[in-house]
Amino acid sequence: MNKLLSIAITAAVLMLSACHIVSQEEPTQEETDAIEAYGLLTIPSSGFTKENVRTKLVLVSDEQLDLYMFDVKFATMMPVTIDMVISGVDYCKTADGIEFSGTDIVPTAGNKPYEKYIVTDLHGRVTADSMIISNNYGDIPAVYEGKIRISNL
């Protein structure tokens, strides 16, 4: 009962405070080595999908990138969309693109850590025309498949 009340209060606060939680300011395309895609986010366990999710990879060093995801929802009942950042993801360049992976990364949204939804089993691949990402947010598996729109690499 307390868990239901807690969820209801959290949902009410989020609905009253904003329709969209914005993350920290993102780097501009001109200032960074970045790749941007638009695609479909799927939560396989529930069958939920969110179309037109914008995703941006920003190479912050020769070994790490930050992954930005915009207007994300994980369920129909989620009252707001969020912008979130998964920072410090390891990557390497390959003959046909970029591969990246990470685990135990605390994502941020609205400049706040979301420790309940720690990112595990993150694996991704970028080619000239597509971006595919799979990972878990806490115990929620997710898959993203997008088409590259901008590549500044």
pLDDT of residue 152: 82
Token pair 């590259």: residue: 148
Q: What is the mean predicted confidence (pLDDT) over 36-53? A: 97
> pLDDT tens-digit profile of 99-112?
999 999 999 998 89
What are residue 49's DSSP bridge partners?
42
Confidence (pLDDT) at 52: 95
pTM for the whole structure: 0.80
Q: Dump the DSSP string for the chain.
A: -HHHHHHHHHHHHHHHH-SEE--SPPPPGGGSEEEEEEEEEEETTTTEEEEEEEEEEEE-SSSEEEEEEEEE-SSTT--SEEEEEEEEEEEEEETTEEEEEE-SB--EETTEE-GGG-EEEEEEEE-SSEEEEEEEETTEEEEEEEEEEEE--
As a whole number, mean pLDDT of residues 38-56 equals 97
SS3 letters across 111-151? CEECHHHCEEEEEEEECCCEEEEEEEECCEEEEEEEEEEEE
Give the phi and the psi of residue 16 in degrees, each rounded to 5.
-75, -30
In 10 A of CB 124, how many CB atoms? 22
